[in-house]
Amino acid sequence: MKLIRFRTPAGIALGLATEHGVVDFSRHAPELRDMADWLTPQGQARAAALAGTAPDCRLEEVELLTPLAAGARLFCIGLNYKSHVAETGREMPPQPSVFLRTHESVVAHGQPMRKPPVSDHFDFEGELSVVIGRPASRIGEAEALSCVAGYTIVNDGSLRDFQKHSVTAGKNFDASGACGPWIVTADQIPDPTQLTLVTRLNGGEVQRSTTDLLIYSIPRILSYISSFAALKPGDVVATGTPAGVGARRTPPLWMKPGDTIEIDISGVGVLRNPVAG
C-alpha cells in the first residue's frame, strides 16, 4: 500500500494511492485524522480493508504533501555508507551519527526545494527512510524491524558551508530538503537491504548504490535511537546517503535554481523536486 497525505479543494486529507486512483480516508474513516493513526497495525489493517474501494479521485488531481505525522520526529543518520565516508576522507563513526531535521526543512514531492540566498553550496543527498508504526523504547536489534510501518524517501538537502560550523544549521534551512512521495508499507518491501538507490540531477545520474552497503543496518540504527529516544508511530529515520554528493566532486556540483533533482528507490518510488531560489 502507498499511504499519502494530500491537499484537495476541501482541505488536507490522508489516503491510499492505488493503480486506479486515490481512496480518501476522510470519506471512509474520518475518525483517523493523523498519519500516525494509519501507520499502526490497526490503522494498516483498516487501510487494507479499504484498498478495494472505488477511488474518490485521480492521483493527478491532488497535491501531494509530505507524508509526515503531525508530531513525527525526522531523525537522520550521517556517514552511513562506506563509499560516502571514503569520499569525505573521514573515519567511520564508532556509533550511528544522528541529527534531526524540522518539518519546515522538507517539502513534498513536486514542490520546490529552495536554495537560500546566503549560500551557493546547496547539495543533494538521496536516502532510504524508515517510518515507525509501533512504539519502541530500548528495542533490541532482533526485534527492531517489527516496529517499522513502511518506507519513504528523503532528500537530505545540505548547505555545506553552514554544515562545517553547524550540522543543525546546514541541514535545517526552510524548504532545503524533501520527503515523499508516499509511505510504502513494509509488507511491500520484505527485505530493505535489497533495494537500489539512484539520484539524478537534471536527468544525469549522480548517485547509485544498493542498500545492503549501509555501515549500520536499519535494525542497528533503530535500536540505537530507541536507546535514548522512545520511537513512536510516524517518526521517520533517514538512513544516510551513498557516495556521489556534489561537495566531493571536482569541480563541486551544487544544485541551483532551475534544476530538477530526483531520487529513485526501487520498490518505493521517485521523489522529484524542482530547485528554486
Nearest partner of 2 among 17, 12, 15, judged by Cα: 17
Amino acid letter, 137: S
Cross-strand bridge partners of residue 127: 154
pLDDT of 83 reads 77
Counting as low any pLDDT under 70, the low residues of the chain are none
State the number of CA atoms in the 13 A half-sphere of 85 facing the CB.
Answer: 17
CATH number of the 74-276 domain: 3.90.850.10
Q: Are 177 and 275 in contact (CB under 8 A)?
A: no
Kind plus residue range of the DSSP H or E element containing 13: strand 11-18
Nearest partner of 59 among 103, 107, 100, 8, judged by Cα: 8
For residue range 15-27, list pLDDT tens digits in order. 999 999 999 999 9
pLDDT of 87 reads 79
pLDDT of 149 reads 98
pLDDT of 85 reads 77
- The whole-angstrom separation of Cα 110 and Cα 64 is 8
All three cell numbers of 115: 536554495
- Find where cell 548517485 sits: 207
pLDDT of 77 reads 97
- The whole-angstrom separation of Cα 3 and Cα 22 is 10
- Asked if the peptide bond before residue 219 counts as cis, ω within 30 degrees of 0, the response is no
Write the Ramachandran bin of 5: left for phi over 0, alpha for psi from -120 to 50, otherwise beta. Answer: beta
pLDDT of 94 reads 85
- Find where cell 536507546 sits: 227
pTM: 0.96
Q: Are 79 and 238 in contact (CB under 8 A)?
A: no
pLDDT of 91 reads 76
Amino acid letter, 211: T
Distances (CA, A) of 253 to 116, 122, 140, 157, 261: 16, 9, 40, 13, 12
All three cell numbers of 267: 520498490
Domain ranges for the chain, please list them. 2-65, 74-276
Residue 217 DSSP symbol: -
